[in-house]
């Protein structure tokens, strides 16, 4: 059971994401709890402002320390968090190994930034891990938080229907996945490889491994090297 608290100024972005598919099943089956918090509710400003101009000038606004401190301190007073994550392009880039590690935690918090980012003092004091979802810049951390949440939840035993399915995905064993086929055995003249119809488990496993290695060498030799 993982509890993920998501801190955002746009909780409505997550509607739909967590009410469908795997994410919904994870919550429904009691494997996960996702709690959304609106940072704006913690602003002491009468207009519920959460951002202000950057010291030193320049373009863009900065998310203020106070509302985020108040929200995180309130959450921390209720339970212990294994990680307080800030989504940020300069964080460690999310990969399967990090998703595996996070899926074994009990309580996670994910803070979504906006504008030019958040006041550095939040990062220095409260954040325990900074995660990027890739070398590009998004306008807000919500999509990154959703990506992290999806990657983590599907790894929790019992969330996927076929318990072993997540174990044979790309990256899980330092290899990309082999090709997959389903019925019919012949579609518009294209046949499924004979070995997959042979019923010989050993040959099938060998074929899948060979194809996985071939595909990894062709597309992502960098992950093969790490094995």
Query: Counting contacts by CB under 6 A, is residue 84 touching ligand SAH?
Result: no
Nearer to ligand SAH by Cβ, of 101 and 177: the residue is: 101
Q: Output the residue with the shortest Cβ distance to ligand SAH.
A: 113
Tokens at 16, concatenated: 């739909």
Nearest distance from C-beta of residue 21 to ligand SAH, angstroms: 22
Query: In 88-132, which residue ranges form alpha helices assigned H by DSSP?
Result: 96-103, 120-125
Query: Counting contacts by CB under 6 A, is residue 87 touching ligand SAH?
Result: yes
- Name which of 114, 107, 106 is nearest 39 in CA terms: 114
Count of Cβ atoms closer than 10 Å to residue 38 Cβ: 17
Residues 6+ apart with CB under 8 A from 59: 116
Q: Which residue has the tokens 């373009």?
A: 59
Nearer to ligand SAH by Cβ, of 17 and 204: the residue is: 17
How far does Cα 126 stand from its chain's mean position? 20
Nearest distance from C-beta of residue 99 to ligand SAH, angstroms: 14
Query: Counting contacts by CB under 6 A, is residue 88 touching ligand SAH?
Result: yes
Nearest distance from C-beta of residue 145 to ligand SAH, angstroms: 8
Phi and psi of 85, rounded to 5°?
-100, 135
Nearer to ligand SAH by Cβ, of 138 and 156: the residue is: 138
Size of the site for ligand SAH (CB under 6 A): 19
Positions in 116-155 near ligand SAH (CB under 6 A): 116-117, 132-134, 136-141, 144
Q: What is the distance between the alpha carbons of residues 167 and 163, in angstroms, rounded to a whole number?
A: 8
Q: What is the distance between the alpha carbons of residues 39 and 110, in angstroms, rounded to a whole number?
A: 12
Task: Please select the residue that binds ligand SAH; options are 37, 114, 123, 208, rule is CB under 6 A.
Answer: 114
Query: Counting contacts by CB under 6 A, is residue 16 touching ligand SAH?
Result: no
Nearest distance from C-beta of residue 83 to ligand SAH, angstroms: 15
Nearer to ligand SAH by Cβ, of 87 and 216: the residue is: 87
Cβ atoms of residues 44 and 54 within 8 Å: no
Q: Using a CB cutoff of 8 Å and minimum separation of 24, what contacts does 163-172 make?
A: 169/96, 170/96, 171/95, 171/96, 171/97, 171/223, 172/96
Task: Please select the residue that binds ligand SAH; options are 4, 112, 152, 212, rule is CB under 6 A.
Answer: 112
Query: Counting contacts by CB under 6 A, is residue 113 touching ligand SAH?
Result: yes
Footprint on this chain of ligand SAH (rule: CB under 6 A): 87-90, 112-114, 116-117, 132-134, 136-141, 144
């Amino acid at each position: 059971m993982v509890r993920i608290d998501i801190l955002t100024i746009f909780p409505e972005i997550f509607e739909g994401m967590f009410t469908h598919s795997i994410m919904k099943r994870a919550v429904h089956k009691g494997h996960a709890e996702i709690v959304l918090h609106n940072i704006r509710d913690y602003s002491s400003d009468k207009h519920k402002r959460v951002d202000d101009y950057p010291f030193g000038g320049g373009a863009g606004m900065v998310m203020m320390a106070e509302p985020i401190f108040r929200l995180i301190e309130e959450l921390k007073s209720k339970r212990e968090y294994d990680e307080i994550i800030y989504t940020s392009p300069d964080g460690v880039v999310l990969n399967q190994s990090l998703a595996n590690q996070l899926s074994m935690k009990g309580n996670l918090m994910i803070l979504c930034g906006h504008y030019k980012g958040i006041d550095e003092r939040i990062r220095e004091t409260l954040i325990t891990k900074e995660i990027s979802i890739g070398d590009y810049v998004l306008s807000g951390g919500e999509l990154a938080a959703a990506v992290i949440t999806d990657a983590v939840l599907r790894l929790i035993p019992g969330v996927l229907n076929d318990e072993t399915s997540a174990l044979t995905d790309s990256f899980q064993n330092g290899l990309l996945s082999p090709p997959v086929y389903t019925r019919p055995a012949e579609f518009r003249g294209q046949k499924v490889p004979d070995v997959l119809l042979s019923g010989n488990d050993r040959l099938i496993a060998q074929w899948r491994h060979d194809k996985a290695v071939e595909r990894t060498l062709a597309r992502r030799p960098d992950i093969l090297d790490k094995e």
